[in-house]
Structure 1
Amino acid sequence: MRYTGRIILVSVSIFFGSISIFFLNESLVEEIPTILITLIIGWFFGKQFDKVKYLSERDFLTGVYNRRYMYEQFPKLCAKYEMFSILIIDVNNFKVVNDTRGHECGDNALKDLVQVISRTVRKQDIVSRWGGDEFLIILPLTSREEAEKIAMQLENEVRKDIEKKCSELSYLSLSIGAADYPSEGMTLDNLNKIADDKMYKKKKESKLNT
């Protein structure tokens, strides 16, 4: 959770306290209790703002960013980077987990998956839960070829994690599609559709090979 709200409101409190002391010739000793109370109030309301802001940007289950945040950030990323790629990730056979082992087990599987994704991708990459068992990752300054290498690394890391932690969920795997900006699309919806089509193509191919 960022400290933006707290920093702003505390800074405002300090600013007005300084005005009272240096420009209105108020006594520092007399103003200290007022300044402290103002700082506490500023910190409290700033914390509430930061909490609301955090919850509005994050997926409640996994803690990664949500779809709304990605749509808000996309124009900023287009202005900041000349190129980037996106990955669409779908968890194969996830419905089987919910149907046979219950939704709590399914939720825990998604949380574990997010942990693996978060430690595998780079610090600058932006991970989001796109909906259900689908995730979208934006990879700044990354070509599609590089993105596909990261996708392969993600698939391997998830496979290792499942085998290590829970062999009973070994039927789970990832299908991942990649698309790059701006050569394959100029909007998030266009890129998402292209990556989604590639992801479903890989999913069909994997079913035919099993």
Structure 2
Amino acid sequence: DHNRSLRKGFPEVIFGQGKTADQIIGIMERMKSQESIVIVTRIDETKAHRIADRFKDVEYHADAGMIIWKKTDFPLLGKGVIWVISAGTSDIPVAREAFLTAQAMGNRVESIFDVGVSGIHRLMDHRAEFDKASVLIVVAGMEGALPSVVAGMVGRPVIAVPTSIGYGVSLGGLTPLFAMLNSCSSNIAVVNIDNGFGAGYMASVINRI
């Protein structure tokens, strides 16, 4: 879809899960001839090394399962700062996917991780910085309470990202998803389970308005 940049302001992003390394390489070869940036999400280490052998100038971010190739830096288009917040250390891969997506799309992005409700004092230390954000992405598994807490503290849009982290009745992320959808904080929107990319993309769109 080489016209996506014209329609949406950013190129198509390659979803790596379920594709072979050769398929991804073929798509990247076609995109690199026409785009200034190519992103691959959900990429494992084995595929990433195959792709890096073919394209020496790619960046592989193992902590997010992403590959980014840039001909030039994408222009800074965001009007404010996007904050990415994770509840637990286990949520960091999804949070990093959101962070890198928003950053690649031309935004200033800040992050703080492991500030969930079981250690809420760590979150409160950054209250003044959150108030200055244009939009916040909050990533949480388990009971999924953190986005509601953050949204209750700020008057900015909060994008909630449920993760599949948790025991038994977390149901692979359904429990935090339901909690976020039922939040009484009205400034929350929710993306799909583990969808850091979608959160980063939507935050970028909001930050350009």
TM-score normalised by the chain length of structure 2 = 0.28
The structure with the largest strand share of the pair is 2
TM-score normalised by the chain length of structure 1 = 0.28
Over alpha carbons, which structure has the higher Rg? 1
The structure showing larger relative contact order (alpha-carbon pairs under 8 Å, at least 6 residues apart) is: 1
